Amino acid sequence: MKTKMPIVARIILGLIFFVFGLNGFFHFIPMPAEVPEKIMTFMGGLMSSGFFIPLLKGTEVVCGALLIVGAFVPLALVVLAPIILNIFLTHAFLDPNAFAITLATVIGLLEIYLAFFAILYSDIVKQLFQLRSFK
């Protein structure tokens, strides 16, 4: 069971980002009927740049696919970390409803588990936090 848990967590996290990343391009999941004004303002600002949302959603698709197939997992986890933090903070401050915060928390916990507690990947990720001197 211990060896299967990281694989299950990796695939679940990968599917979440792959599906929602593709949704950013193809819009197959309908928008909620009521979206808070603060979220609309925030998303409007991101969309007005013209490049940020495609870059974000493309990154989500690529990292999600990497997690699903199990390639470059530590790199995908590092790239997704600020995206996951932003998802959580956006829902915590701009749309504090229980479902959105719970989903963002689950995504964050999957990331933390894979990065720091799953033996398959944690040693590689932990090396990023080791202080080294260059000689």
Q: How far apart are CA 47 and CA 41, in angstroms?
A: 10
The amino acid at residue 85 is: L
Domain locations along the chain: 4-129
Count other Cβ atoms within 10 Å, centred on residue 34: 6
pLDDT band at 1 (very low <50, low <70, confident <90, very high): low
pLDDT band at 49 (very low <50, low <70, confident <90, very high): very high
Does pTM surpass 0.75? Answer: yes
Tokens describing residue 78: 């590092």
Lowest mean pLDDT among 19-23, 90-94, 102-106, 125-129: 125-129
Number of alpha carbons in the 13 Å side-chain half-sphere of residue 4: 1
Number of alpha carbons in the 13 Å side-chain half-sphere of residue 69: 7
Q: How far apart are CA 36 and CA 110, in angstroms?
A: 27
